[in-house]
Chains A and B, each alone.
Chain A
């Protein structure tokens, strides 16, 4: 039962075999048993979780069940919620209680979901390992000496160890897909503009997008269906986004005739051999299922990481200016004057990775450097977008590894930010181009999960979901779970 998918739990709830309260209690017990080891959750209020489950059972007794009725879903600490603290795993927002729900939280509630708690993350979503969290590192259930990936590492670890059947993450440069890959689960980053960003604490506004982290492709579809849609209070939420029949996309699991692009830039020297072998094998499987693998090129891929690490910190440097000790969040003791209050509050409140990115961003935007860095990075971004547009004239979908390496050991890269930044080398271009991307498990390397990434054209989440569902149906990778946490293998 703990490793059940959302859709399995849903059918058991629908048949009356179990209740939302029983389901919630099961996962609360697992959190109580395993969270000390994993540090996947940073806030949990069992009484409130059970109260929601009870309310859901009552609702179900009187009405037709809503799309996510009684289903437990955890959310990354980046989502503002009226219930409990929203701290973005930063000391500067320690004990901050948002007076509003993020739009996606409202939508989850309206769909009947039971919100389980807040999951660990890299501070302000800056990181690829969930080691920059102010509330301690999170661990990978497959090997607790390893990182779970980041920045949505808490959500990934929680789903992988079945402390919750599903969770929400956010993805700015790969922060849903990379941890999903490293923990052997499924993660979807929808097209930019598909899901409202209102109430999600901003990291890099032009790149951030919320999405599901689940056991199965269908579960990701169920959640995305619930959280997507136009929000008039987010000007970047697209009003006339092409609609997707989310569940139908997962049912049509036929790969026959699907043209899958295999970009040579994503199969490079230096990547882990077992990762490469797993992904190559996955593509072979797709071929057996009737797909056509087409070698393609995305020539500007090599510049994506550089462009990203200019654009994202630039936007972040402005987005994080509001944490200044004036109105909310941390303020230093006994400031001497205004400047002292700003500098000490921010120095005490932000961790070193956040500071590094604020400084990088402020530098890239400063007068005299803007053209050389920010403007150039935006030009690269346009070229990367064009690469994808041209590729999708040839193919229906693109498949790549999600991460060049499996989960690395805690502390292994913390002193080397540039190597750490390369963890996102295969996911970043998707954010720069605003495209939908999904990672699903496709094998193991050194006994750690390997992720297969699907990249679709803008608004074609249906293509992505049906390819991923077809692969999932033909393999058993999505059913694997870590033995140490009561899994079957």
Chain B
């Protein structure tokens, strides 16, 4: 009998505001510990929070991008728990009435279709600080630079039915957030972290007991953790046991999860309305203005690229991974409008492939869109062959020079002069009289031999189209 997997995800995404959620401290990553703090984010007596409206706008933008409802009046609540890196002893969050509710994300399915995954809510909250235990000789230190940094918590419906679907959802969300420019979403810096709620059931039965895998920040680990947890739960049930509701931590070194705390030990957060902040009110006009400023989203861009440039859905998908790559492609097409498909092939296969090998971002590419367009122009006007273009491209990646400079320097200019080509053909014919005779006697297959010889004699520079054409004419005598 088969098992059905049920997954719901909670993503914590750090908003890329200049200042913290409730004070004017900088949010910049990597500063000396406790240098970006003030009495407010340190939770000093008598200090009060004042809401950063940029964080509000970015959360609304994200809500609009997933087709969600924006609550024109939402509220802040206190989530109470003790931890040394939580200065006030509570976190300001949105519990009862979040700013964003409903919405969805579509993920591609294997059969080429789409599956719609529900988003329950997005709420705003502040981050806690960071505890540091390692290498400190049994003493723990606290860095409160992160205390009060604004976060969005994006909570999905339990709609995922496999680890692959969960990862697809996360990747879509991650891409969307970067497109919107609301977060760097750098997973290594903890700007995009995920908790996964996992349970299994027999198809058609009610939800099983779930466990929560906490605080993961790598797609690979999230997939491993979910797959591990699914097998663990199935094994427990098949052995006649019961899954315990608990929070678990993924150990990426040992590739296993371990219990963090059980339901009985779970916190009672004692949520209640934050009395230091009035209800958050936004007007429909403000929401409309944010909607009007929304950039083209990945799904729209992908479809437009397919229609406008005639790209395959695969190429369109690769080129729209980031707003930057889409923009790069569009400037490439603008500089070489004759062949958008050739542009796509070169950018997707050659450029992005090479950058990935070198571990570089598109922004660090030695070859600009204008330079790549220059190379494609030389292929189009037969200055060089497609094959030679690969070598030129390599040289461009090395030196950063433009195509013409390299073609000139390496003497790679394709020979398209019919006189010169005729001269080479005559030489080849003179050197191979038997083959000429054979061809003329009807051995058509020898054509390939002559083409090869001519190209070799020209050191690859002869225009292959012209070589074919002239051979046809001259061999016939």
Contacts and interface: CB of A to CB of B under 8 A. Distances in A.
Interface in B309-353: none
Contacts of A201: 45-46
Given A86-B45, A342-B82, A318 B278 contact: no
Interface residues of B, number: 28
A318 B90 contact: yes
A254 interface: no
Interface residues of A, number: 42
A366 B90 CA distance: 14
B452 interface: no
A362 B271 CA distance: 10
A102 interface: yes
Interface in B275-290: 275-278
Contacts, number: 101
A187 B275 CA distance: 25
A37 B90 CA distance: 41
Contacts of A318: 78, 80, 88-90, 270, 272
A235 B42 CA distance: 18
A232 B50 contact: yes
Interface string B22-56: 00000000000000000100111111111100000
B80 A365 contact: yes
Interface string A306-346: 00000000110110111010111000000000100010000
Nearest to B276: A205
A235 B276 contact: yes
B420 interface: no
Contact of A98 (B45, B49, B80): B45
A234 B44 contact: no
B275 A315 contact: yes
Contacts of B446: none
A315 B42 CA distance: 19
Given A321-B90, A322-B89, A198 B48 contact: yes
Contacts of A205: 275-276
Contacts of A374: 272
A317 B80 CA distance: 9
B84 interface: yes
B238 interface: no
B89 A321 contact: yes
A200 interface: yes
B82 A234 contact: no
Given A315-B275, A338-B84, A365-B80, A197 B48 contact: yes
Contacts of A365: 80, 270-272
Contacts of B366: none
B268 interface: yes
Contacts of A315: 272, 275
B374 interface: no
B87 interface: yes
Contacts of A99: 39, 44
Contacts of A304: none
B82 A321 contact: yes
A419 B450 CA distance: 113
A236 B276 contact: yes
A455 to B, nearest CB: 22
B136 to A, nearest CB: 15
A321 B80 CA distance: 8
Contact of A235 (B39, B49, B271): B49
A366 B88 contact: no
B142 interface: yes
A197 B50 CA distance: 13
Nearest to A343: B82
Interface string A197-230: 1111110111000000000000000000000000
B308 to A, nearest CB: 48
B46 A321 contact: no
B45 A88 contact: yes
A314 B82 CA distance: 16
Contacts of A338: 84
A236 B275 CA distance: 8
A316 to B, nearest CB: 11
Interface string A41-56: 0000000000000000
Interface in B234-280: 268, 270-272, 275-278
Contact of B87 (A93, A98, A197, A322): A322
A485 interface: no
A324 B81 CA distance: 11
Interface in A248-303: none
Contacts of B47: 100, 198-199
B324 to A, nearest CB: 37
A80 B49 contact: no
Nearest to B78: A318
A83 to B, nearest CB: 15
A102 B46 contact: yes
Interface in A472-489: none
Contacts of A326: 84, 87, 142
A200 B46 contact: yes
Nearest to B277: A235
Given A100-B39, A365-B80, A233 B48 contact: yes
Given A88-B45, A99-B39, A236-B276, A362 B270 contact: yes
Nearest to A238: B278
Contacts of B90: 318, 321
A260 B380 CA distance: 94
Top 4 nearest A-B pairs (CB, nearest first) are A321-B89, A205-B275, A365-B270, A206-B275
9 contacts: A233-B50, A236-B275, A236-B276, A314-B272, A322-B45, A326-B87, A362-B270, A365-B270, A374-B272
Given A235-B51, A365-B272, 4 more contacts: A80-B46, A197-B46, A204-B275, A370-B271
